[in-house]
Amino acid sequence: MVLTAIVGRPNVGKSTLFNKLTGRRTAIVDDAPGITRDRIYGKTEWLGREFSLVDTGGIEDSKDEILTEMRAQAQLAIDTADVIIFVTDLRSGVTAGDSEVAAILQKSGKPIVLCVNKCDNVGKTPPELYEFYNLGLGEPFPVSSVHGHGTGDLLDEVIKHFPVGDGVHDVPPEDEISVAIIGKPNAGKSSLVNKIAGEKRVIVSEIAGTTRDAIDLPVEYNGEKYVLIDTAGLRKKSKIRTGENVEKYGALRAYMAVDRSDVCVMMIDATEGFTEQDSKVAGYAHDKGKASVIAINKWDLIEKNDKTMKEFTKTLERDFSFMKYAPFVFISAKTGQRIDKLFELIKYTGEQNARRISTGMLNDMLAIATARVQPPTDKGKRLKLYYITQASVKPPTFVVFCNKIDLFHFSYQRYIENQIRETFSMDGTPIVIIPRERGE
């Protein structure tokens, strides 16, 4: 997948542009306070070309000086992106910081598209626009991110720079489960992949293809085919990724790997526990409807008694309360402990993610569920659920026809979701419920 990065000073409108180009996500009601779902990475499409977009300004809350932060952003974009959109602000004009970053970007040789944001007046070219030619990045594209003006011309220019023939690796064959191995640097991702590759029961196919953002390893385990997406791989090969950029890379590549996967293995370092970054990526996997397995690694290093695993589980259940469906497994990438169990869970959650339930069985479930717990009423009007059907898989998505959407509160949707889970033992995967209104 082609990656386009957005770079620029704070407040020039990067996140507004990002939202405009990716389409704002509907609000997610969540019972896990403190889970921030930053809008920093998303997919979009222009003239039939699908591509990923990242707002480098959102990758980390910056405590740095603006210029330091901008340099880091620019470097990240240069190292990862195919095309860079450099956003400036018509109202503030060209600043010294803009010039410095423009110079860094230009030196990289990457295709740069210069966006001058906040050109809110349609039709006439503002005279202030010409000053932006001085940045040496070619023609400035006037845009109003708030209104959307000019974004079409901007995207026309962006896709002109896309490499030809990209996207070959994006669609995995049907009979394979793509597994993204996600985790902070040093969580043990490479160790796990290496351990798996070295196992007797594992047949490693030839390295079929290496995408830019990860190394894919096709393996066969107990007769099942998997593709392991090792997000640590690239870093190991490259020398430029050092210091704090490693962390930012990790985050960015994790998002990209999640997109390509069926199942995400969230690796948590048992000696460090759950972190903010883990929750962001896990939240992204949840939003994207991917199945997840939470693997607590380096279990060999933990001093244990009979209660340790229980205590760990309790804490993790709280950390991952927004994805209660995800199973835990305590592993050691070093000794190979429970790697067979891990594969079992990957296979199981992957199957759950792709499961289809017949309309007849779903409606039997609905009849029982609505009889057991009456749908809510509001101002004398009662919610009626007429019909349920599964619209799609990966994730299992159910459309529920009702008399009035406003009455179909989140709590009752959650109840229906739980009934689906219970009735059909559907676990390990997010479930999406889509309410639809239909006349009585």
Closer by beta carbon to ligand GDP, 331 or else 366: 331
Taking the complex as a whole, the smallest distance from the CB of residue 30 to ligand GDP amounts, in Å, to 22
- What amino acid is encoded at 425 in this protein? S
Closer by beta carbon to ligand GDP, 49 or else 91: 91
Our finding on whether 277 is near ligand GDP (CB under 6 A) is no
Interacting residues with ligand GDP between 221 and 260 (CB under 6 A): 232
Closer by beta carbon to ligand GDP, 88 or else 211: 88
Q: Write the interaction track for ligand GDP spanning residues 45-64; mark x where CB under 6 A is met and - where it is not.
A: ------------x-------
Our finding on whether 75 is near ligand GDP (CB under 6 A) is no
Tally of CA atoms within 13 A in the half-sphere of 47 that contains its CB: 11
Our finding on whether 429 is near ligand GDP (CB under 6 A) is no
Write the secondary structure of the chain as one string of H (helix), E (strand) and C (coil).
Answer: CEEEEEEECCCCCHHHHHHHHHCCCCCCCCCCCCCCCCCCEEEEEECCEEEEEEEHHHCCCCCCCHHHHHHHHHHHHHHHCCEEEEEEECCCCCCHHHHHHHHHHHHHCCCEEEEEECCCCCCCCCHHHHHHHHHCCCCEEECCCCCCCCHHHHHHHHHHCCCCCCCCCCCCCCCEEEEEEEECCCCCHHHHHHHHHHCCCEEECCCCCECCCCEEEEEEECCEEEEEEECCHHHHHCCCCCCHHHHHHHHHHHHHHHHHCCEEEEEEECCCCCCHHHHHHHHHHHHCCCEEEEEEECHHHCCCCCCHHHHHHHHHHHHCHHHCCCCEEECCCCCCCCHHHHHHHHHHHHHHHCCCCCHHHHHHHHHHHHHHCCCCEECCEECCEEEEEEEECCCCEEEEEECCHHHCCHHHHHHHHHHHHHHHCCCCCCCEEEEEECCC
Q: Write the interaction track for ligand GDP spanning residues 186-225; mark x where CB under 6 A is met and - where it is not.
A: xxxxxx----------------------------------
Q: Write the interaction track for ligand GDP spanning residues 164-183; mark x where CB under 6 A is met and - where it is not.
A: -------------------x
Taking the complex as a whole, the smallest distance from the CB of residue 143 to ligand GDP amounts, in Å, to 7
Q: Write the interaction track for ligand GDP spanning residues 303-332; mark x where CB under 6 A is met and - where it is not.
A: -----------------------------x
Our finding on whether 97 is near ligand GDP (CB under 6 A) is no
Residues 11, 275, 397, 413: which binds ligand GDP (CB under 6 A)?
A: 11
Taking the complex as a whole, the smallest distance from the CB of residue 115 to ligand GDP amounts, in Å, to 10
Interacting residues with ligand GDP between 126 and 155 (CB under 6 A): 144-146
Taking the complex as a whole, the smallest distance from the CB of residue 15 to ligand GDP amounts, in Å, to 3
Our finding on whether 118 is near ligand GDP (CB under 6 A) is yes
Residue carrying the six token digits 């009035």: 404
Closer by beta carbon to ligand GDP, 23 or else 163: 23
Interacting residues with ligand GDP between 368 and 387 (CB under 6 A): none
Taking the complex as a whole, the smallest distance from the CB of residue 298 to ligand GDP amounts, in Å, to 4
Our finding on whether 336 is near ligand GDP (CB under 6 A) is no
Taking the complex as a whole, the smallest distance from the CB of residue 148 to ligand GDP amounts, in Å, to 9
- What amino acid is encoded at 172 in this protein? P
Taking the complex as a whole, the smallest distance from the CB of residue 389 to ligand GDP amounts, in Å, to 39
Residues that bind ligand GDP (CB under 6 A): 8, 10-16, 57, 117-118, 120, 144-146, 183, 185-191, 232, 297-298, 300-301, 332-334
